[in-house]
Structure 1
Amino acid sequence: MPGHETWTDRQETTTVTVDGHELEVAYFEDGEQQSDDPPVVFLHGIPTWSFLWRDVAPEIAADRRVIAPDLLGYGNSAMRDGFDRSIRAQEEMVDALLDELGVETVSLVAHDIGGGVALRYAAHNPDAVEELVLSNAVCYDSWPVEFINGLGLPSTAEMPDEELDSKLDFAFADGLYDDEGHEEFVEGMKAPWQSEDGKLSLSRNAVATNTNHTTELDYEAIEAETLLLWGGDDVLQPVSYAERLAEDIGDAEVVTLDDAYHWVVEDRPEAYRDRLAEFLKQQGS
């Protein structure tokens, strides 16, 4: 369970081109290719970063190569102004990053808007995605939620540190099922947004949420073996959306984890990790 500074120290960086912009992407990588099974790529959502996967990705790396990037505008990836951070642009980033790393086929594990990115990538590249795991993911018209709309206001970039800290406490601490033992998660999730560049980037990330990027998708084009591993008590992305996805994706299973809100990876890390590992082993070679 590395702290956020240790996680940052373990990240690598590369530069990708998205919409003509050269942008730095930070990513965590671990494990080795031990079989024909593809790497497992973990995608986080808003307002998190790859640190979300700190209790999951290193364990999966015992059997598979894992890659967990910070989306553009998040974590330790590019935060400067002047580029698109929508899930369409993040899909392009993933494609460019995988090309940079020499990866042709993947297993995708994604949460929140990372799920929207994964859905787009899987629908547009059905031959490249062997396994797809979505957790409390945005889809159809399920997003953006009111809190994220609020962060997209211009005032976010000029907000006093104490006020932003209070808003992020609400998002992270109050969004957990259990009130105890999550200090590392809360502090780690707030860390990227506590600079002037971070506050501006957070506002730009929020305003870039575009429902059209999931309503336009042909979900039936997805061919990957799919697990919808959902926090069952989430009110932001309720399990009814997982059930709708299961109807449209040909080979999909819904598994709900009780006692878990939107931050299911943090609420139920052991159960999440175990069920994910079981799915990957079942589908693997």
Structure 2
Amino acid sequence: MPVSFSRWLPGLLLCAALPLSAQAATPAAAEGPAYGPELQGFDYPYTLKHFAFESQGKSLQMGYMDVAANGKANGRTVVLMHGKNFCAATWDSSIKVLSEAGYRVIAPDQIGFCTSSKPDHYQYTFQQLATNTQQLLKALGIQKATLLGHSTGGMLATRYALQYPEQVEQLAMVNPIGLEDWKGLGVPYRTIDQWYQRELKVSAQGIRDYERITYYDGRWKPEFDRWVDMLAGLSKGPGKIQVAWNSALIYDMIFTQPVYYEFKDLKMPTLLLIGTSDTTAIGKDIAPPEVKAKIGHYDVLGKQVAKLIPQSTLVEFPGMGHAPQMEEPAQFHKALLGWLNTSNPVR
């Protein structure tokens, strides 16, 4: 555990397990951008605002974007929940499409991520992150919303929907992790100190290699490099110690707090958007061969979990990976908008 943290260090990111540390930084990575502890220096696609609040005896702030309907307003709001290795900014194309379709769009960075605070000591739970987000929405005057969660954001969106069912009209999840309980399936536990040492070694090349293999089935698009630079720049900037420590705490939260057993309790219309070539699974890199062989199969997991959720719709994207909204935006958004407009939201 790190000995101490400077007060000026705060913010990082939510999604799947990431064996980034095994890679040493290459000269090219070393020459890339470095960003501040709350991602200072990285441009967001829409105006970045900040929500100040108290939590666990600390004064914290959440960075967020609040984008009004650009088309004919339909009076509805979509809240976007990013993944572990993503930020609110990575929703840029989805924000544009949803706004043009008449939705108000709220895209926050969770505490510990990206443009938000990264406290020295914080008890990370999905319940706490859901409570933080609910406080933000309350401050913005939003009483009901549709949730769209990607990767770890899918776990958070599930927890939010279970915690505040009367405030969730619809729930949509994009390749959510947590469709299985890795610890229950025999993945070894990695301590917070082990996660921390691993996260200190994050590099741009390590991020790129991991995402190409795990997220995109060996494929890569030049536009993904911006998001690699975002993560790597945050991890090698002046807040790198705080970023690594908060990241370690978040990984422990993801591994030890499954939502899998509660999918059956969701009460609202729920959409699963699944790229079937995704192989993301927390701890897969240290799992025994027999365990590694049976986890992270999204072509199977999507179908299994759709049967657990009472009002579920499954849309699969054959051959796509962990982030179909980034890989093939037009195809993804057509499916999303079609469901949003035809399912009956809880009013």
Q: What interval of TM-score do these two structures reach, taking the shorter chain for normalisation?
A: 0.7 to 0.9
Q: Aligned AA for 1:41?
A: V
Please name the residue that 1:30 is paired with.
Answer: 67
Change (3 A) 1:5 1:99: same
User: 1:157 Cα shift?
Assistant: 5.7
Please name the residue that 2:6 is paired with.
Answer: none
Please name the residue that 1:218 is paired with.
Answer: 262
Please name the residue that 1:255 is paired with.
Answer: 315
Contact kept, 8 Å, 2:78 with 2:148, in 1: the verdict is: yes
Deviates most, 97-106 or 150-159? 150-159
Find out whether 1:270 has 2:336 as its counterpart: no
Q: Distance in 2 between matches of 1:9 and 1:36?
A: 20
Provide the identity percentage. 18
Contact kept, 8 Å, 2:199 with 2:247, in 1: the verdict is: no
Q: Aligned AA for 1:66?
A: V
Q: Distance in 2 between matches of 1:59 and 1:82?
A: 38
Deviates most, 271-280 or 184-193? 184-193
User: 1:94 Cα shift?
Assistant: 1.2
Q: After superposition, where does 1:192-203 map in structure 2 within 5 Å?
A: 192-203=234-245
User: 1:233 Cα shift?
Assistant: 0.6
Q: Distance in 2 between matches of 1:253 and 1:216?
A: 17
Q: Distance in 2 between matches of 1:273 and 1:258?
A: 15
Q: Given the alignment, which residue of 263, 275, 283 partners 1:231?
A: 275
TM-score by length of 2: 0.71
Name the structure, 1 or 2, with higher relative contact order (CA <8 Å, separation 6+).
2
Q: After superposition, where does 1:2-41 map in structure 2 within 5 Å?
A: 5-7=42-44, 10-32=47-69, 34-37=73-76, 39-41=77-79
Change (3 A) 1:199 1:275: farther
Q: Distance in 2 between matches of 1:28 and 1:64?
A: 13
User: 1:8 Cα shift?
Assistant: 6.4
Q: Distance in 2 between matches of 1:260 and 1:149?
A: 29
Q: After superposition, where does 1:101-116 map in structure 2 within 5 Å?
A: 101-116=140-155
Q: Distance in 2 between matches of 1:150 and 1:48?
A: 23
Q: Deviations over 1:120-166 (max 9, x none)?
A: 1111222111111111112254458x8x969952324644xxx5233
Aligned length: 277
User: 1:76 Cα shift?
Assistant: 0.5
Please name the residue that 2:174 is paired with.
Answer: 135
Q: Which blocks of at least 5 consecutive residues in structure 2 are unaligned?
A: 1-40, 281-295
2:106 alignment partner, SS class: strand
Q: Which blocks of at least 5 consecutive residues in structure 1 are unaligned?
A: none
Find out whether 1:176 has 2:216 as its counterpart: yes
User: 1:25 Cα shift?
Assistant: 0.2
Q: Distance in 1 between matches of 2:274 and 2:249?
A: 26
Please name the residue that 1:166 is paired with.
Answer: 205
User: 1:170 Cα shift?
Assistant: 2.5
User: 1:279 Cα shift?
Assistant: 1.6
Please name the residue that 1:77 is paired with.
Answer: 116
Change (3 A) 1:212 1:150: closer
1:233 alignment partner, SS class: coil
The two structures, once aligned, show a CA RMSD in angstroms of: 2.9
User: 1:173 Cα shift?
Assistant: 4.3
Change (3 A) 1:180 1:154: closer
Contact kept, 8 Å, 2:45 with 2:92, in 1: the verdict is: no
Contact kept, 8 Å, 1:85 with 1:204, in 2: the verdict is: no
User: 1:215 Cα shift?
Assistant: 4.4
Q: Deviations over 1:201-239 (max 9, x none)?
A: 244223333344324753233122111001111111424
Q: Deviations over 1:168-214 (max 9, x none)?
A: 22233443343232323332343333324245324422333334432
Q: Aligned AA for 1:225?
A: P
TM-score by length of 1: 0.85
Q: Aligned AA for 2:86?
A: T
Name which one, 1 or 2, has greater alpha-carbon Rg.
2
Deviates most, 65-74 or 24-33? 24-33
Q: Aligned AA for 2:246?
A: R
Q: Aligned AA for 2:221?
A: E
